[in-house]
A = this chain, B = another copy of it.
Amino acid sequence: MAAADASSWASRSQSPSPTSSAWLILNQFQELSSMLEESNAIRDKFREIGIDMDTAVRQFQSALLPVHYLPANEVPTAIAKAKENVPALQSMMVRLASTLLDSKGQFYRYHDHWRHQTQTVVFLLAFIHWLETGGLLQHKDVEDQLLLLEVVRTDSFFVDLDDYLIGICGLSNELSRYVVNRVTLGEYEVAERVSKFLNDLYAAFRLLNLRNDALRKRFDGLKYDLKRVEEVLYDVNIRGLGSKSTTGGGGS
């Protein structure tokens, strides 16, 4: 028995013939192996771009921080300085888009590598836009500012709608902090402007049938931001510090 078995098992050690099951299995897996290596390489590229975006977004955000405290007349200079970070982000978008060209239709396969960074970029661009115009930066304008419309936007690369909306929730949160800091500086009229904007934003958000849980949770935060801003506006008005009241203080 031993001898018979040994010879039977021995057959495994020989190179499998090109039609044997073992040969077919190995042959397919060699092909699959190349495919896996390829997608691993792509994933590594996205990971690298994601890390670079982290750094660029951090610098962008740092440059914008001072607008919370600067005298009003110095804010435009700070914004201009912060905007100098945008070209670096644009070039990363081009890198993302061109890496995706090699793997069409796989945006959502690798999306996690730049999702969070994009949300922060949306928030920062929208904050700048609000500071400059008092209005809301639109979805297509984000893509425009990131060069996606002109240069690289294709069906395979874009700013995901949920990422845009989460970025806008970030703006709402930042504005609730901004209003506290500017009213502290004595710019009482900011309270009403922010309150009105967040009210409009909140009303608009309520049009949306949100299914994405992460987005839903962020939207819940928007209600607290709005409430906080309303309380600041109340504090300002009850003390007669509001923009329209030229006479008297709250307690008088």
A-side interface residues toward B, CB under 8 Å?
1-10, 12-13, 16, 21-22, 24-26, 28-30, 32-33, 35-37, 39-40, 43, 54-55, 58, 61-62, 65-66, 69-71, 74, 78, 104-109, 111, 134-136, 138-139, 155-156, 161, 165, 177, 180-181, 183-187, 192, 196-197, 199-211, 227, 230-242, 244-245, 247-252
A2–B186 touching, CB < 8 Å: yes
Residues in B with CB closer than 8 Å to A203 are 22, 26, 62, 65
Partner of A211, one of B43, B206, B236: B43
Identify 14 residue pairs between A and B in the complex whose beta-carbon atoms are under 8 Å apart, listed by A's number. A1-B240, A4-B245, A12-B69, A21-B134, A21-B200, A22-B203, A26-B200, A28-B204, A32-B165, A37-B209, A104-B105, A180-B231, A181-B234, A232-B234
Contacts of A136 in B (CB 8 A): 21, 24-25, 28
In-complex Cβ contact of A71 among B10, B16, B184, B249 (8 A) = B10
Contact (Cβ within 8 A) A139 B28: yes
A247 close to B66 (CB less than 8 A): no
Q: Look across to chain B and name the residue whose beta carbon is closest to the beta carbon of A233.
A: B184
Q: How far is the CA of A105 from the CA of B157 in the complex (A)?
A: 10
CA distance A111 to B110 in the complex (A): 13
Q: Tell me which residues across on chain B come within 8 A of A244, comparing CB atoms.
A: 1, 4-5, 8
Q: Which residues of B contact A248 (CB under 8 A)?
A: 1
Tell me if B201 and A55 are in contact (CB < 8 A).
no
List 8 extra interface pairs beyond A9-B184, A13-B66, CB under 8 A.
A5-B237, A12-B69, A13-B71, A32-B165, A33-B208, A33-B209, A36-B211, A62-B206
